Amino acid sequence: MTPSLKLVFMGTPEFSVPSLTAIHQSRHRILRVVTQPDRPKGRGRRVTHSPVKKTALQLGYDVAQPASAKGDDFPSVCFDPGPDLLVVIAYGNILPEPILTCLRLGVVNVHASLLPRNRGAAPIQWAIINGDDHTGVTTMQMDAGMDTGDMLLASRTLIRSDDTATTLHDRLAEMGAKLIVRTLDQLAVEGIKPIPQDDAQATDAPPLKKKDGKIDWDQSATAIDRRVRGMTPWPGTYTFIGDRRLKVFRMTVVDAVSGAPPGTVIKGFADELRVATGNGVLSLLELQGASGKRLSIADYLRGHKISPGMVFK
């Protein structure tokens, strides 16, 4: 029988929850769960537990929420009562260097890419935006760098033509849950040889900002479609037609050629909205106005006239 490990689990968002649940169901023992402090959310600014805290309490774990990883109490939160390692999955705080080296098996992280590609805060989104054919999850031994630690295990998946950041996030979260249990099982019997990352092959996946969602119609139809899917649900993509700001939720690349300038609305079928790009044509499928709700293009066009020759900017 595989020996069991004692660990402290550190995570905050939904991506971390499947891994927490999977470890709970494994032979390994979670001593404590550490997550970010409760924060106000939504229009009502109601103080809300993180997804990890909600799950941890349901599973019966002691939950710690230190205000900072640099606080005097942070080492005791991590090391008492003597874990073999920390498992960190989207915790949301950079750990001080002394924390990374104090335990027998160190700190193991699940990162949502095939390292060294897409190091950084938004690996799922950038994998779609950049047109990667596949991506995956990697377990690694954390060091002081940004996702630069030695790799332990990896699992890959194809990026589908209809994947959004939402669908890929959910798939990778489940893959990460299986991978972290495999990693713990092998660490327990000293069955993994860490592999250093090749920095020459590294790419960055920096945080996204709201301004990144503005559509550049000079790009190709394929590149714009990837950007929309990669930024769904956040930060979302948008464009302007006249003084109207429109959120764009879905589109599809059309097998058509247009000589019109990028952003120009061109003739299509009834209840269709085709737009020329820098290379190719897109058909917009779902839009939302500044004060409306998300609508299919047929429903949107019934209330808002957009004619061939008009230009999105």
- What does the pLDDT average to over 203-219? 97
When pLDDT is cut at 50, 70 and 90, the band that residue 45 belongs to is: confident
Over the stretch 256-271, which tens digit does the pLDDT of each residue have?
A: 889 999 999 999 988 8
In the chain, % of residues over pLDDT 90 = 83
**Which domain does 227 fall in, by range?**
210-303
Query: Mean pLDDT lowest for which of 13-27, 32-46, 138-152, 189-203?
Result: 32-46
User: Is position 137 within any domain?
Assistant: yes
Instruction: Using DSSP, state whether 205 is helix, strand or coil.
Output: coil
Q: How far apart are CA 138 and CA 103, in angstroms?
A: 21
Give the integer Cα–Cα distance in Å for 297 and 251: 10
Residue 229 in domain: yes
Instruction: Tell me the percentage of the chain whose pLDDT exceeds 70.
Output: 99
Residue 292 lies in a domain: yes
Q: Is pLDDT above 80 for 20?
A: yes
**Residue written as token pair 């409760």:** 38
pLDDT value of position 61: 96
How far apart are the C-alpha atoms of 42 and 58, rounded to whole Å?
A: 23
pLDDT over threshold 80, residue 204: yes
Q: Are 221 and 281 in contact (CB under 8 A)?
A: yes
pLDDT band at 241 (very low <50, low <70, confident <90, very high): very high
Among 201, 221, 238, identify where a domain stops. 201
Co-location of 163 and 18 in the same domain: yes
Assess whether 25 and 91 both reside in one domain.
Answer: yes
Q: Are residues 187 and 60 in the same domain?
A: yes
Exposed, middle or buried by CB within 10 Å (0-12, 13-18, 19+), for 290? exposed
Collapsing DSSP to helix, strand or coil, 300 comes out as helix
Helix (H) or strand (E) holding 299: helix 297-303
279 and 188 together in one domain: no
* Same-domain status, 266 and 118: no
Listed residues 201, 219, 234: the one ending a domain: 201
Q: What is the mean pLDDT of the chain?
A: 94
Using the predicted structure, report yes or no on whether residue 121 has a pLDDT greater than 90: yes
Which is more confident, 76 or 15? 15
As a whole number of angstroms, the distance between CA 168 and CA 96 comes to 30
pLDDT score of 206: 97
Token reading at 44: 């009502």
Q: Are residues 30 and 125 in the same domain?
A: yes
User: Which residues does residue 47 pair with via DSSP β-bridges, in sequence order?
Assistant: 40
Are 134 and 270 members of one domain?
A: no
Verify that 76 and 144 share a domain, yes or no: yes
Same domain as 42, residue 129: yes
71 with 144, same domain: the answer is yes
Give the model's pLDDT for residue 230: 98
List, for residues 268-298, the tens digit of each pLDDT value. 988 899 999 999 999 999 999 987 899 999 9
- Is residue 310, in this structure, part of any structural domain at all? no
pLDDT band at residue 85 using 50, 70 and 90 as cut-offs: very high
CA distance 53 to 17: 9
Domain assignment present for 308? no
Our count of domains for the chain comes to 2
Domain stops at, among 158, 175, 201: 201
pLDDT-derived band at 308, boundaries 50, 70, 90: very high
Task: With cut-offs at 50, 70 and 90, classify the pLDDT of residue 134.
Answer: very high
* For residues 175-203, average pLDDT: 97
State the CATH number of the domain containing residue 170.
Answer: 3.40.50.170
Residue 313 lies in a domain: no
